[in-house]
Structure 1
């Protein structure tokens, strides 16, 4: 595996930070950046000039992870040439199909199935129902094909997110990268570290990822009551107090972040499904909780690996970044201390993370987790 990494600051060209002497022919080029930077129409051509034969995938972020640092307002680039394995990239758009589950099924159907080992998703994050999208890839799980990835971000603005494959970034894009090859080893894991508090309540009215009522009361009104003065900062302040959602007594709770609120309808739209009759609680975390959780996620991803990772894609939630503030890089450093310094590290802060729970096969949408995917040939 050959890897080249570079960073582009505002109004500056890309600056190589590793792999200066590497020549890549047809690499996978992952470009993660601030949404404003990705709106620059010259960016795609700039990347194409650097890697004329590259398969270029863009995703907007709430912060860029490159090496052991977290950037803000920049663009990070990681180009990977697999020496014994192959990949293919497929895409769709939420405007093409208005059912996110069907959209996922349609994208999956376009992949050649023979030898398909893993799918990594980079999805638009402002309007998609991530749970439904993952549901469209259920046949992949049944065929023992691993899945992980994340929803693109837009800092804490929640205005729009951008993604693309071999074109300038645009809204609504779902990018799926399929990996093939017997010698390819890919593992993923996630962990949050957030703690529930306050009374547990029952969802009495919801539709997919739209939450209407808790215990028969308007959910938004009840949530604002708990937030107090911070209710004026919604939806941004919701990142500090996500919801733990437990579908039934036997299921693992998932964390859901609020993406948008509708004052007129008195509803909240979350990043994934919030089924009727599920039990929910508010959650909170400290910086130390989050850093410790990043270490746990890394340990889970390293469990039972046969080879040391050569590439690590880290996707962490924007809510974690808001809590950590000036200490954000600590969770990245903690991951590196566990996986080793031999892996090239890239990734971004997101509006949602995709990975299975430890010991399970089914990919789930998460919020407020550190999710990492480790690659080696």
Structure 2
């Protein structure tokens, strides 16, 4: 496998960078495309399709190659992986439940490869990411490898999309299915957020919608926790602050807490819509954002991953939560650069609304406020 990354602020810039990447005879078969909703994804996809390149794509809340963070731009990782070692599929949500679609993807993986692994991107502003994990696991089993991220929309909260060949505006799921007997995958999901304050109880919830915490409207609880006027009208600002500075940690026996951050609030019933499921009865604690020490922890975990699982990476893909970007600020570039330098391989990634990956002491699952890295090497 050989990988190259290109970037641009327009279709014309991408076209030029793409042509330059091919000048030495490089013949990519797969493109990982992350771009702003302001970009012309149809034109960019058609440019790639002219060279018979399979596409796995998502809109973003910021995109990067290595530590170079773009704003309303396009980044592409081009891979010359053997066509028989991967398959791209896409499913629109329609009337189907997210878990049912994910189960279809899992079954497609099993029909294609004996040992499939999945990299997933999800479109749709209120998708429950936990259902993606459950659906694939239902089809393939609990030990399945799953990485990925929820698409973004430059933090406008107007609509997120994923896309593939000939399908450029999907509010369902796209999947890059890999033959894990031929392509080695390793990765990690890490956050660094520290729990603070008392333990609280989710007293009413349904899926990824939280209605009450300790029998109080969920929005009122988080506004009170932040010390903001209860009658504030800047709802988006409230949710941005909660998601980036005070996400909820669901406490779990025998495993690490999992973080859930609200995406937006309902002014009518004062509920919170999160990117993943928050079961009724869950015990939660709010969190405080990490400092620079968390970057050191990420690098230590990456070095351990390199030493113990995959020493020679050929490509790196990162899904980093937008709330993490807001919280860490300029330090997030240091994190991206440092991770890339562990392996020295090409990297592409984007700031997402939820992440899928494997925690150090856990299985592959859905996260918020997390940096999820997947490392690839063709055998």
Kept in 2, the 8 Å contact 1:246–1:278? The answer is: yes
2:13 corresponds to which residue?
13
1:196 corresponds to which residue?
195
Spell out the pairing of 1:1-377 with structure 2 (5 A cutoff).
1-10=1-10, 12-14=12-14, 15-16=16-17, 19-25=21-27, 27-38=29-40, 41-49=42-50, 52-83=51-82, 86-97=85-96, 99-111=97-109, 112-139=111-138, 142=141, 144-167=143-166, 169-180=168-179, 182-229=181-228, 232=234, 233-337=237-341, 339-341=342-344, 343-360=345-362, 362-377=363-378
What CA distance in whole angstroms lies between the structure 2 residues aligned with 1:83 and 1:267? 47
Kept in 1, the 8 Å contact 2:115–2:181? The answer is: no
- Write out per-residue CA displacement over residues 108-139 of structure 1, whole angstroms, 9 at most, x where no aligned residue: 22232543331111111512100012100114
Instruction: Classify 1:285/1:163 alpha carbon distance in 2 versus 1 (closer, same or farther; 3 Å).
Output: same
- Write out per-residue CA displacement over residues 182-232 of structure 1, whole angstroms, 9 at most, x where no aligned residue: 342110111101111222201111111110111111111111112234863
Which sections of structure 1, spanning at least 5 residues, go unmatched? none
What CA distance in whole angstroms lies between the structure 2 residues aligned with 1:74 and 1:370? 21
- Write out per-residue CA displacement over residues 29-57 of structure 1, whole angstroms, 9 at most, x where no aligned residue: 1110111114x5433223334xx210012
What CA distance in whole angstroms lies between the structure 2 residues aligned with 1:113 and 1:12? 36
TM-score where L is the length of structure 2? 0.90
- Write out per-residue CA displacement over residues 254-283 of structure 1, whole angstroms, 9 at most, x where no aligned residue: 011111110101100101111111111111
What CA distance in whole angstroms lies between the structure 1 residues aligned with 2:371 and 2:322? 10
Taking only aligned residues, the RMSD between alpha carbons, in angstroms, comes to 2.4
Where 2:227 maps in the other structure, the secondary structure is helix
Kept in 2, the 8 Å contact 1:300–1:358? The answer is: no
Higher helix fraction: Structure 1 or Structure 2?
2
1:161 deviation in Å?
A: 0.7
What CA distance in whole angstroms lies between the structure 2 residues aligned with 1:84 and 1:104? 23
Kept in 1, the 8 Å contact 2:162–2:169? The answer is: yes
What CA distance in whole angstroms lies between the structure 1 residues aligned with 2:71 and 2:294? 20
Which sections of structure 2, spanning at least 5 residues, go unmatched? none
What CA distance in whole angstroms lies between the structure 2 residues aligned with 1:153 and 1:297? 27
What CA distance in whole angstroms lies between the structure 1 residues aligned with 2:256 and 2:328? 25
Answer with 4-13 or 268-277: which moved more. 4-13
1:296 deviation in Å?
A: 4.1
Kept in 2, the 8 Å contact 1:32–1:75? The answer is: yes
Where 1:156 maps in the other structure, the secondary structure is coil
1:351 deviation in Å?
A: 0.4
Kept in 2, the 8 Å contact 1:301–1:372? The answer is: no
Where 2:253 maps in the other structure, the secondary structure is coil
Kept in 1, the 8 Å contact 2:340–2:346? The answer is: no
What CA distance in whole angstroms lies between the structure 2 residues aligned with 1:22 and 1:149? 31
- Write out per-residue CA displacement over residues 156-184 of structure 1, whole angstroms, 9 at most, x where no aligned residue: 22221111110353141301111115342
What CA distance in whole angstroms lies between the structure 1 residues aligned with 2:254 and 2:100? 28
Kept in 2, the 8 Å contact 1:153–1:349? The answer is: yes
